[in-house]
């Protein structure tokens, strides 16, 4: 699954640490999601979408291999 979290962070001028604090997760979790090494829970995906004022499907995209 691909995501645009790094782009959204840049648009909102947030570091990984700042985003992690807003979501109540570790910076390592944000790094892992951005690196496509970790798929967030539904709750975390919804929190990200709400924070960035986007639909979940605008942030997360399935790849053919998913």
Q: Look up tokens 């970790």; give the residue.
A: 38
pLDDT bucket at 52, cuts 50 / 70 / 90: very high
Going through the chain in order, the beta strands assigned E by DSSP cover 2-3, 60-61
Assess contact for 32 and 19: CB atoms under 8 A. Answer: no
Beta-bridge partner residues of 61:
2
Give tens-digit pLDDT for 30-47.
Answer: 999 999 999 999 999 999
Q: What is the mean pLDDT of the chain?
A: 97
Beta-bridge partner residues of 3:
60
What DSSP element (H or E) covers 36?
A: none
Tokens of residue 54, six digits: 């986007």
- pTM reported for the whole predicted model: 0.91
């Amino acid at each position: 699954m691909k995501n645009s979290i790094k782009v959204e962070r840049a648009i909102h001028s947030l570091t990984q640490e700042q985003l992690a604090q807003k979501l109540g997760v570790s910076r390592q979790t944000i790094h892992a999601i951005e690196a496509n090494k970790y798929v967030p829970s539904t709750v975390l995906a919804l929190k990200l979408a709400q924070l960035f004022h986007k639909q979940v499907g605008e942030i997360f995209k399935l790849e053919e291999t998913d």
